[in-house]
Structure 1
Amino acid sequence: MKLAVHRFSRIAAVFAGVAVAMTSFTASAQGVISHESWGDILETYVSPGPDGVNLVDYGALEPNAEDREKLDAYIAQFDGADIDAMERDAQFAAWSNLYNAVTVRYIVEKYPTDTIKPWYSTGPWKSIKVRAGDELISLHGIEHDVLRKQWSDDPRLHYAINCASYSCPDLRTAPWVAETLDADLDDAARAYVNHPRGVRVDGDSIDISSIYKWFEEDFGGSEAAVIDHLLQYAAPDLAEKIAARRKIDDYDYDWSLNDAAK
């Protein structure tokens, strides 16, 4: 499925095309991707909601042609860029940022919508594609063929990518960058585990996000390993409750859109 082309005037379209082409050429030639413009988008349109979940103001971004061009230009940098030549943390940051940026663009193009994944659907992740390096890759490919394969030893990768849904780990208000990646991933893990959509204890019952079921293999391959992972990031009070129970009772996931307007 082709991502939609925004409706600009003929002159605006020409200048936008030139800007995107120049940005892409520069990134390809230098082997460097700047995440500054993506950071501007995040800072402008992402903010914590009333219950602590970061929400996106898709309704404000959708009509803003200038910022949508900025988002397109950011994504265009990846076309022809030599991501494999980057150091490892920079590669992770680049792929994670690209996944998140393309997801935001997809939602904006579909907006208004209530969810990225209708109940009868397997989701659009295989059909949403983008050029990165010298290939056309889907969001499914970024998650499963790049991140989960190349960083199979680090389950924190699941806290780095956002599927535009309420129960997904937060879309950060800043881009991932190599310099602070390890600490930022720890922060993201703690934020998710300690929020009820990650782990919820109700009396003797422990319900956790379906992420830990779908990707149990990445979190150690067993319920016990998942619990150990949760204990690593849980705040003391929550950790005490998890340790006392050491059994997962249920899994849950809310696919409603992480929309600031909701």
Structure 2
Amino acid sequence: MKFLLFIILNSLVLSNLWAAPAKDLDKQWAAFSQTSTLSVSHDKWQAILDRYLTTTPDEQTFFSYSKVTSEDHKLLKSYVSDLTTIAPEQLTRIQQKAYWINLYNAKTVDLILDNYPTKSITKLGQGFFSFGPWDDKVLTINDKKITLNDIEHRILRPIYNDARIHYAVNCASYSCPNLAAHAYTAENTEQLLDKGAEQYINHPRGVLVTDEGLKLSTIYSWYQVDFGGNEQDLIKHLSLYAKPKLKEALSMVTGKIEYVYNWDLNEIK
């Protein structure tokens, strides 16, 4: 009986872990500067991307975790440390957008390297029922310990209300939108967000029209509220970034929508 109860509880916990967190603003991170003379350097992160990120002909990016030297891992940790010593409220809103995206992505790569080799980021995390590291307190900013989920769901999503955020933050998985080849800055953020949306939507792991209907990344199910709230609005969003052939196919889609996701590491082997 105890074993059966354990199995039931385990199943319930795992199903909850798969549910996407709600968008819920943490007001302590809402402050920003109207103008800022503070310069944030993302050069260290760009150096890591230049050395270890590969873009395939079909515009999917992969990271060579196995090739990262100990010196470059230290450089990455130094970059993360640099960002955590900055008080975000001293930055403008657009500076903050780039700051949080880069910090999320750099820390994710750092966590993978700390635990490498691993088949999937879902194998990381503290606690018996952990499904990934997203709820672990892995960063300290303004003397406050925060999680990757805090950055995505309690800062980026509620502050910016921009569905393209989902094409920017990278979960180190095959089915995830690309880890961008360029560090986000106040100057290039809007361009990179559009590029991330276009690359993902026009790749089969994001959107695939089949004879049976439409196969989409589960991101569009988890966060449907951010893409309009219903499947009709979701199709409109996809069509905004779809290339002509895909856009035409989307306009004629009938049948069910199937959602799939591959959590294997986004790794060049």
TM-score (norm 2): 0.81
**4+ runs deviating over 3 angstroms:** 49-52, 118-121
CA deviations on 1:37-62 (whole Å, 9 max, x unpaired) are 1000011100124654211010011x
CA deviations on 1:132-182 (whole Å, 9 max, x unpaired) are 344221101111111111112x10011111000000000011101110211
Task: Give 2:50's aligned amino acid.
Answer: E
CA distance in 1, matches of 2:67, 2:54: 13
CA RMSD, 1 decimal: 1.8
CA distance in 1, matches of 2:107, 2:131: 18
Match of 1:87 among 92, 96, 101: 92
Correspondence 1:132 to 2:141 = yes
Contact 1:148 1:157 in 2 (8 A): yes
Q: Which moved more, 1:163-172 or 1:74-83?
A: 74-83
Any gaps of 5 or more consecutive residues in structure 1? 1-29
Task: Give 1:81's aligned amino acid.
Answer: I
- Shift of the 248–219 alpha-carbon distance from structure 1 to 2, 3 Å rule, reads farther
- Shift of the 246–135 alpha-carbon distance from structure 1 to 2, 3 Å rule, reads farther
Q: How does 1:90-239 map to 2 (within 5 A)?
A: 90-118=95-123, 121-152=130-161, 154-239=162-247
Contact 1:208 1:250 in 2 (8 A): yes
- Shift of the 212–73 alpha-carbon distance from structure 1 to 2, 3 Å rule, reads same
1:206 CA displacement? 0.8
Q: Which moved more, 1:43-52 or 1:136-145?
A: 43-52
Q: Which moved more, 1:123-132 or 1:167-176?
A: 123-132
Any gaps of 5 or more consecutive residues in structure 2? 1-36
1:31 CA displacement? 4.2
Task: Give 2:65's aligned amino acid.
Answer: Y
CA deviations on 1:10-69 (whole Å, 9 max, x unpaired) are xxxxxxxxxxxxxxxxxxxx84421011000011100124654211010011xx121111
CA distance in 1, matches of 2:184, 2:45: 10
CA distance in 1, matches of 2:246, 2:268: 28
CA distance in 1, matches of 2:86, 2:242: 38
1:197 CA displacement? 0.5
TM-score (norm 1): 0.83
CA distance in 2, matches of 1:51, 1:243: 23
Q: How does 1:30-69 map to 2 (within 5 A)?
A: 31-49=38-56, 52-61=59-68, 64-69=69-74
Q: Which moved more, 1:48-57 or 1:140-149?
A: 48-57
CA distance in 1, matches of 2:255, 2:75: 47
- Shift of the 246–148 alpha-carbon distance from structure 1 to 2, 3 Å rule, reads farther
1:80 CA displacement? 3.2
Task: Give 2:145's aligned amino acid.
Answer: L
- Shift of the 215–87 alpha-carbon distance from structure 1 to 2, 3 Å rule, reads same
Question: What is the number of residues matched between the two proteins?
Answer: 229
CA distance in 1, matches of 2:217, 2:166: 12
1:117 CA displacement? 0.9
1:106 CA displacement? 0.4
CA deviations on 1:76-114 (whole Å, 9 max, x unpaired) are 112331212212111111000000000000001111111
